[in-house]
Structure 1
């Protein structure tokens, strides 16, 4: 099936309607995967029409950008590359940074690791509340003017931050965690983006794999998989979520789809300004994700699915303060 294209934001940025999150290839979900296999996976994704590739200098750190840079050889003109700055381990804990010198240095570093002349979409990964957003976005605007960045975005920003930044320079996309079990963005962030003509890029649209594989995604993972520390994968919450998964499995069977395709189709039905970026390290999963475009949901089916998941999902995503989201 052909992957459709969409436009994000008001400046004509065209991407595939489903992207590829590359984080898990290098970090957080266990040991780094085989470089050759991941490059082959990325090339396969592009051959199938998945051209919107997502990374960050935080993943590794740096190693995921290096991997993607190697994968881009010979296909740069076929893809749209998104990367991020602003999340660091500098003091031994996760912190956000947005001071101008840091913004500029991060961009130069990403350009070098990706081995590209220009980054298609450059996000601030987390908001540094110590620096006025007008200062940070002002430096990002300079990167656009210098030809080092084409479009600007945010990952995890409040409506007020988005508005203030958008007044300085058009924001093309806001990346948010949005899936059947993370829907709080629908209250204010999604409406704000739509009011301002900003595209929406849902990450973890499959609930970090749970909505496609159920509890086995965590039961089969290694000790270095950080999902094991998340509240949704622990104790009574995990048991409750198992029951929800079984209900989604029943609906997906009736639709002749997998539960992951059902969950991803639900995100893709949210509008033509939405481009989810499910991550995977396996070609079979990639093919399954692409198959979600063949799953058509009526408004009644959408409400039925939402009703199943709305009762009982643990809303705390990380169990910690999420890096000063504001």
Structure 2
């Protein structure tokens, strides 16, 4: 199996983003079905599972811990801290004391004595990044986490963090229709020897034929609040999807596999973590690791779907305020 490096481990370049088993998209599966998905992922050769304290407000970590407690040595485990809830109120909190409390909750829920890769989920603009990284460095020294990661942060913050303690991974949305990492973060990760972990690599299901009519999504679905799916932008974006699907069919691969192969083509330090609650999609996605696209195909994709051809920003203005990744002018 082809592997790439993450937090000191050789992993399948296609990891499993576990969020949709508990949170955000559609109706989450029952816990017993989620457990079956996790076991199937390991049986298929997934070696990197990604979760967060946020997902299902702890339910996702609990699911993984309960389902896979007998298979802990078979995968690299990544989780995240820094988004806290007080009742219905959400806040970003990366103060050292909060981090220390969060990791203990995660370790308990995951039924493990260590987390291989632990991210700050978002930038806390009230707490210097150096203080947050210092707290995580102490957890590395204590053996509670194996490596430090950042999520949705800028190249400048990555450099500041890396100066305190090596940062093993930066996780950010990246796909054909979300190109922000190309401004600076993707290259900075390569320079610093930091893995780049792409979440939503199939564009929140769009490049897996997972969305045709946003109005048919359940009321709680995260995509209903995102501008690219609104009545103004979606008709244009759906035309791009149809042309993309035609290209995938001409290559005799699925649209999801084409999207994932494109992401992996962006550098040997890039890892993709598509999420799904479907066994068929789980099986489909993992096969993308063996697909190598020609330069001609990559050029056609880059011309078809890019920041100029996609309609609408990826987040609403309110959501964007919590994101520190660089924005195109």
Aligned pair in 2 of structure 1 residues 125, 235: CA closer, same or farther (>3 Å)? same
Give the number of aligned pairs.
Answer: 322
Alpha-carbon distance between aligned partners in 1 of 2:10 and 2:162, rounded to the nearest angstrom: 19
Q: Which residues in structure 2 correspond to 1:27-38 (within 5 Å)?
A: 27-38=23-34
Match of 1:202 in 2: 198
Match of 1:314 in 2: 311
> 8 Å contact 1:87–1:94 — kept in the other structure?
yes
Match of 1:239 in 2: 235
> 8 Å contact 2:9–2:76 — kept in the other structure?
no
Match of 1:325 in 2: 323
| TM, length-normalised to structure 2 | 0.94
> 8 Å contact 2:212–2:238 — kept in the other structure?
no
Alpha-carbon distance between aligned partners in 2 of 1:75 and 1:217, rounded to the nearest angstrom: 39
Post-superposition CA distance 1:206-233 (Å, at most 9, x none): 0000111163273542122121121111
Match of residue 7, structure 1, among 5, 9, 15: 5
Gaps of 5+ in 2: 325-329
Of the structure 1 ranges 184-193 and 103-112, higher mean CA displacement relative to structure 2 is found in 184-193
The yes-or-no answer on 1:118 pairing with 2:114 is yes
> 8 Å contact 2:233–2:312 — kept in the other structure?
no
Q: Which residues in structure 2 correspond to 1:36-47 (within 5 Å)?
A: 36-47=32-43
Q: Which residues in structure 2 correspond to 1:243-254 (within 5 Å)?
A: 243-254=239-250
Match of residue 252, structure 2, among 252, 256, 261: 256
Q: Which residues in structure 2 correspond to 1:104-183 (within 5 Å)?
A: 104-183=100-179
Offset of residue 293 of structure 1: 2.8
Offset of residue 290 of structure 1: 1.6
Match of residue 181, structure 2, among 178, 182, 185: 185
Match of 1:268 in 2: 264
Tell me the secondary structure at the aligned position of residue 149 of structure 1. Answer: coil
The yes-or-no answer on 1:86 pairing with 2:64 is no
Alpha-carbon distance between aligned partners in 1 of 2:13 and 2:21, rounded to the nearest angstrom: 21
Post-superposition CA distance 1:104-140 (Å, at most 9, x none): 0000000000010000000000010111111000000
| TM, length-normalised to structure 1 | 0.95
Match of residue 285, structure 1, among 278, 281, 284: 281
Alpha-carbon distance between aligned partners in 1 of 2:104 and 2:76, rounded to the nearest angstrom: 18
Aligned pair in 2 of structure 1 residues 105, 217: CA closer, same or farther (>3 Å)? farther
Gaps of 5+ in 1: none
Of the structure 1 ranges 141-150 and 232-241, higher mean CA displacement relative to structure 2 is found in 232-241
Please report the RMSD computed on the Cα atoms of aligned residues, expressed in angstroms.
1.5
Alpha-carbon distance between aligned partners in 2 of 1:107 and 1:27, rounded to the nearest angstrom: 20
Of the structure 1 ranges 32-41 and 110-119, higher mean CA displacement relative to structure 2 is found in 32-41
Offset of residue 271 of structure 1: 1.7
Tell me the secondary structure at the aligned position of residue 167 of structure 2. Answer: coil
Match of 2:327 in 1: none
Match of residue 62, structure 2, among 56, 60, 66: 66
